[in-house]
Amino acid sequence: MVLNNVKQVLKSIEERDFKHIYFVACGGSLALMTPSKYLVDLYAKKLTADAFNSNEFIYLNPAALGKDSAVILCSQEGKTPETVAAAKFAKEKGATVITLSMVDYSELGNEGEFAVKYGYYETADAIDTSYGAMYLLTAGIIEAQENCPLFNKMVTNLTKITPIINKAKEDFVDKALDFAESCKNSKVLYTLASGSDFSQAYVFSNCYMMEMQWINAIAIHAGEFFHGPFEILEKDSSVVLLMGKDNTRFLEERALKFCSKYVEKIFVIDMNEVDFKDIDEDFVGVMAPLVINNVCRLYSKTIAKVRNHSLDIRRYMHIVEY
Amino acid sequence: MVLNNVKQVLKSIEERDFKHIYFVACGGSLALMTPSKYLVDLYAKKLTADAFNSNEFIYLNPAALGKDSAVILCSQEGKTPETVAAAKFAKEKGATVITLSMVDYSELGNEGEFAVKYGYYETADAIDTSYGAMYLLTAGIIEAQENCPLFNKMVTNLTKITPIINKAKEDFVDKALDFAESCKNSKVLYTLASGSDFSQAYVFSNCYMMEMQWINAIAIHAGEFFHGPFEILEKDSSVVLLMGKDNTRFLEERALKFCSKYVEKIFVIDMNEVDFKDIDEDFVGVMAPLVINNVCRLYSKTIAKVRNHSLDIRRYMHIVEY
């Protein structure tokens, strides 16, 4: 589904020249775009990229935004007001505007030049999810702009990752329960990660814990950790450490080494425990955030059950005016 | 001091073409660079920029890093190992490497092609601090690359900002004391800001509170706030809201409106209370982070006194191995 949709978009824009990609969204939808920003950093020799919160993007009004920009925006239901406004704004600036959402027709889709519809994360194959759609689009744009063969490799690996994700969701059940039981009364969690995995520390802290569980959670970059935040840690602090497989894994390993010495409650979600069998060796790091995301969601569901606090309870979002 | 030093550097590189600037440092030194990244976003039509933690920069190994990159690195004492290594790495990649530190000769300075020495933040005029040096360099590079007259304007405004900073440090004394007394036992603080001010939410939370006071503090982007984190807030939560004067102020105002309804303990550091008299109207937003930084430092000193917890106490940093 997503693959054909993305291929059509890529075909339509293959003659255009882009200098910069803006990834624009809010909250969880912004977090799911940052691995694609990482992909640009990792593979693109000319193209550069920024990831912006939708309102920040509009009000900042980047001077470089224009005809040679690709702006990719995402909103699950396609109606996040700031993201809809950002799409309109980007189009007025002459940028190529591509929108992603889970629905057929949306306000967001109406504002863009191209719309990609992705599937529901609980049921769709990885290639059909928001992460899959983002990676396909970004890989395709990099390939077209840089003559760097990335798209087919992305398709192949995304096609093979779903069973690996599903197995990880089974294999981490006990660890998820241990986390949930140990942290159900924690006053604050520290979530560490680096590189493309940092997106998952962000979504775990800001969405799964603070929004959906009303548990304080601080996403700390594993490299920045040693330049301030680590001073807060005590023996009984609760640390969730995400360990992926990208180039920056060393930073996460260094954080683990430190935390193992000074903290008792460390919950490591380590991609070294996952068998990435059919995935191309040099692409395991790119695929890992999709697995981490699903394992983090398992952790959040498990703690929600243990605390008897549904992930769907809100007190402000879509309830009060803001 | 800094001005002549920066002018020499700019003179030496004026014939070089840059496509991208990498701002690279750790912790507080990284935070002080992000307003310069904002400056690039705001004024540069061709140049783009990234801000990276030093180790993230090295291990990620951006594909675009090379001869047409300017890499600016900062470390107070010029010996932060990751930043020294990042300078070496960038130079090997053929980039133009400019280093900033507070000392005459440093390991960091040795690795770069150009070194800028800045003054101590407590005693130097604003133009001679790290913030001043960063802004001068960045404005100069933007001007040279884009024919956009920015450097003299930056010099003029930096020259005029010191008395405004000093007055703010006096005017916010009572508010700092109110913050310190009210939050001395807070379990967690939420620090909100957007745009260039977000750098100060970052340094306030990660350095002034977590590192130097062992108080949990979460830096939340004021636009992202409404897409997850705001659900954590209760009536007795403690919120520090930074309100600057840049293009994104609306995001901070929106956060204030929400917090005023649902939270009792809001501590607003509002640049509308500061008289920016001689500053060019369209440059007040650029100058505001320097004022906010000094007011935030006043807040941290005040809470340190009230809690009888010196800002200099560490349990891990430079004490244990990591």
Asked if B95 is an interface residue toward chain A (Cβ–Cβ < 8 A), one would say: no
Asked if B68 is an interface residue toward chain A (Cβ–Cβ < 8 A), one would say: no
What pairs with residue B21 in β-bridges?
B49, B70
What residue ranges in chain B does DSSP mark as E strands?
A: 20-25, 48-53, 69-74, 96-101, 114-117, 188-193, 216-221, 238-243, 265-270
Q: How far apart are CA B212 and CA B169, in angstroms?
A: 20
Q: Are the C-beta atoms of A184 and A299 separated by less than 8 Å?
A: no
pLDDT in 10s for each residue of chain B, 322 residues: 899 999 999 999 999 999 999 999 999 999 999 999 999 999 999 999 999 999 999 999 999 999 999 999 999 999 999 999 999 999 999 999 999 999 999 999 999 999 999 999 999 999 999 999 999 999 999 999 998 999 999 999 999 999 999 999 999 999 999 999 999 999 999 999 999 999 999 999 999 999 999 999 999 999 999 999 999 999 999 999 999 999 999 999 999 999 999 999 999 999 999 999 999 999 999 999 999 999 999 999 999 999 999 999 999 999 999 9
Question: Which is nearest to A284 in space by CA: A317, A244, A250?
Answer: A244
For range A133-148, the mean pLDDT:
97
Q: Are the C-beta atoms of A220 and A191 separated by less than 8 Å?
A: yes
Q: Which amino acid is at A117?
A: K
Q: Are the C-beta atoms of A237 and A259 separated by less than 8 Å?
A: no
Task: Kindly tell me if the per-residue pLDDT of A285 is higher than 90.
Answer: yes
Pairing of strands B238-243, B188-193: parallel
Closest-CA residue of B relative to A46 is B64
- Which residue do the tokens 């916010």 mark? B172
pLDDT at position B264: 94
How distant is the Cα of B239 from the closest Cα of chain A, in angstroms? 13
Per-residue pLDDT reduced to its tens digit, A204-215:
999 999 999 999
Share above pLDDT 90 across residues of chain A, in percent, rounded to a whole number = 99
On chain B, the residues whose CB falls within 8 A of the CB of A261 are: 320
Provide φ and ψ at A119, rounded to 5°.
-95, 170
Per-residue pLDDT reduced to its tens digit, A190-200:
999 999 999 99
pLDDT at position B1: 86
Of B27, B194, B254, the CB nearest to A228: B27
Inter-chain CB proximity B56 and A258 less than 8 Å: no
pLDDT at position B17: 98
Inter-chain CB proximity A229 and B250 less than 8 Å: no
How distant is the Cα of A140 from the closest Cα of chain B, in angstroms? 17
If 0-12 CB within 10 Å is exposed, 13-18 middle and 19+ buried, where does residue A17 land?
A: exposed
Provide φ and ψ at B45, rounded to 5°.
-90, -25
Task: Kindly tell me if the per-residue pLDDT of A113 is higher than 90.
Answer: yes
Q: How far apart are CA B274 and CA A65, in angstroms?
A: 32
For A97-131, b where at least 16 C-beta lie within 10 A, e where not — what string? bbbbbbbeebbbbebbbbbbbbbebeebbbbbbbb
How distant is the Cα of B47 from the closest Cα of chain A, in angstroms? 8
What pairs with residue B49 in β-bridges?
B21
For residue A46, give Cα distances in angstroms to A96, B66, B86.
18, 10, 21
What band does A1 get if pLDDT is binned at 50, 70 and 90? confident
Inter-chain CB proximity B60 and A248 less than 8 Å: yes
pTM tops 0.80: yes
Provide φ and ψ at A134, rounded to 5°.
-60, -45
Asked if B231 is an interface residue toward chain A (Cβ–Cβ < 8 A), one would say: yes
Terminal-to-terminal C-alpha distance of chain B: 36
Asked if B56 is an interface residue toward chain A (Cβ–Cβ < 8 A), one would say: yes
Terminal-to-terminal C-alpha distance of chain A: 36
Inter-chain CB proximity B44 and A66 less than 8 Å: no
Q: Residue A159 CB: number of other CB atoms within 10 A? A: 14
Provide φ and ψ at B231, rounded to 5°.
-65, -20
Asked if B253 is an interface residue toward chain A (Cβ–Cβ < 8 A), one would say: no
- Which residue do the tokens 């977000």 mark? B198
Tell whether ipTM is more than 0.90.
Answer: yes
Of B56, B231, B250, the CB nearest to A316: B231
Provide φ and ψ at B49, rounded to 5°.
-150, 155
pLDDT at position A229: 98
Asked if A191 is an interface residue toward chain B (Cβ–Cβ < 8 A), one would say: no
How distant is the Cα of B280 from the closest Cα of chain A, in angstroms? 19
Inter-chain CB proximity A315 and B231 less than 8 Å: yes
Q: Which two tokens stand for residue A16?
A: 């255009």
- Annotate A85-134 with DSSP letters as a single string: HHHHHHHHTT-EEEEEESSSS-HHHHHSSEEEE---TTTS-GGGSHHHHH
Asked if A315 is an interface residue toward chain B (Cβ–Cβ < 8 A), one would say: yes
On chain A, the residues whose CB falls within 8 A of the CB of B193 are: none
Q: Which amino acid is at A125?
A: D
Domains of chain B: 2-149 (3.40.50.10490), 163-307 (3.40.50.10490)
Q: Which amino acid is at A162?
A: T
Q: How far apart are CA A56 and CA A262, in angstroms?
A: 38
3-state SS class at B246:
coil
Per-residue pLDDT reduced to its tens digit, B50-95:
999 999 999 999 999 999 999 999 999 999 999 999 999 999 999 9
Of A30, A60, A317, the CB nearest to B247: A60
Mutate to test the interface with A, among B227, B253, B258, B260 (most CBs of A within 10 A): B227
Inter-chain CB proximity B45 and A27 less than 8 Å: no
For residue A84, give Cα distances in angstroms to A10, A28, A116, B250.
22, 16, 14, 17
